[in-house]
Amino acid sequence: MRVISLSSLKGGVGKTTVTLGLASASFARGLRTLVVDMDPQSDASTGMDVTVGRRLNISHLLAHPRGSQVRNAIAPSGWTRSHKGTVDVLLGSPAAMAFDTPSVTRKEIWRLEEILATVENDYDIVLIDCPPSLNGLTRMAWTASDRVAVVTEPGLFSVAATQRAFRAIDELRRGVSPRLQPLGVIVNRVRPQSIEHQYRIDELKEMFGALVLQPELPERVVMQQAQGAASPLHVWPGESAEEMAESFNSLLERIVRSVALTEG
């Protein structure tokens, strides 16, 4: 099992949408997939057609990380009702905000790692949708991860947030989790005709080089349509959906190569 965190230190860049796109690509590829909804907004749970509130969730496990309870907080995505495969959700909750404190103890920071260890034989890949902060929930997620992908949009403040994220990843790697590495930067909501967007993308490439992942993801309404319908992108009709699905396939392939994932 390989664990990937999807992070951004700035809200509104489409981090959860990217998480769902990668989950759709993983599901379509036949990987046993778990999405961990660490963001208190719980949008990933909703986008994967799971009703939040009917069972245990991430906040219960963080408060009482008993291995016997972990599977009670994991639900199959509604995506599997019409398509074969394994894609589950460790449910999010607004109550998880209680754990998003500026500082966490060394015991607390390993809590998600302990939780995921109980299901390590059940999944090929875990995608963690992190909150847009550097507080406790994100640090727990990163400590449990093999790689962190930083999601950004091509704007001034998002570029600055990406710099902060990479510094924080390096600090956590050196101080807590030596296996942690940056996967790279996923540039989302790109408008190809925008001079400002192209300028910021060039700026990112100057700063981070090959860590700026290809392809960049264009701004497409089909992403919101599929998400709003709680449907995997890869079965949404239309040419635009097919193009976006192929982009997420390429990003997933980068992940598979980066962590030497053995499928099946």
Whether the CB-CB separation of 29 and 78 falls below 8 Å is answered with: no
* Residue entry with tokens 């990479």: 166
Task: Output the CA torsion sign for 156, 39, 169, 134.
Answer: positive
CA dihedral 190, 193, 194, 197 (to 10 degrees): 40
Any domain includes 192: yes
First to last CA, the chain: 10
Q: How many domains does the chain have?
A: 1
Average pLDDT over residues 130-156: 95
Any domain includes 62: yes
Any domain includes 146: yes
Any domain includes 46: yes
What is the C-alpha separation between 219 and 14, in angstroms, rounded?
10
Q: Residue 259: which pLDDT band, with cuts at 50, 70 and 90? A: confident
Any domain includes 89: yes
Tens digit of each residue's pLDDT (9 = 90 or more) over 155-168: 888 778 888 999 99
Phi then psi for residue 167, to 5 deg, are: -65, -40
CATH of the domain at 100: 3.40.50.300
In terms of residues, how long is the chain? 264
Any domain includes 263: no
At residue 263, the pLDDT reads: 62
Any domain includes 264: no
User: SS3 letters for the chain?
Assistant: CEEEEEECCCCCCCHHHHHHHHHHHHHHHCCCEEEEECCCCCHHHHHCCCCCCCCCCHHHHHHCCCHHHHHHHEEECHHHHCCCCCEEEECCCHHHHHHCCCCCCHHHHCHHHHHHHCCCCCCCEEEEECCCCCCHHHHHHHHCCCEEEEEECCCHHHHHHHHHHHHHHHHHHHHCCCCCEEEEEEECCECCCCHHHHHHHHHHHHHHHHHECCCCCECCHHHHHHHHCCCCHHHCCCHHHHHHHHHHHHHHHHHHHHCCCCCC
At residue 264, the pLDDT reads: 55
Q: Residue 127: which pLDDT band, with cuts at 50, 70 and 90? A: very high
Average pLDDT over residues 245-259: 94
Any domain includes 235: yes
Q: Give the residue among 110, 258, 126 at the shortest CA–CA distance from 182.
A: 258
Q: Residue 38: which pLDDT band, with cuts at 50, 70 and 90? A: very high
Q: Determine what percent of the chain is predicted with pLDDT higher than 70.
A: 98
Residue-number span of the structural domain to which 249 is assigned: 2-258
Tens digit of each residue's pLDDT (9 = 90 or more) over 179-189: 999 999 999 99
Q: Residue 121: which pLDDT band, with cuts at 50, 70 and 90? A: very high
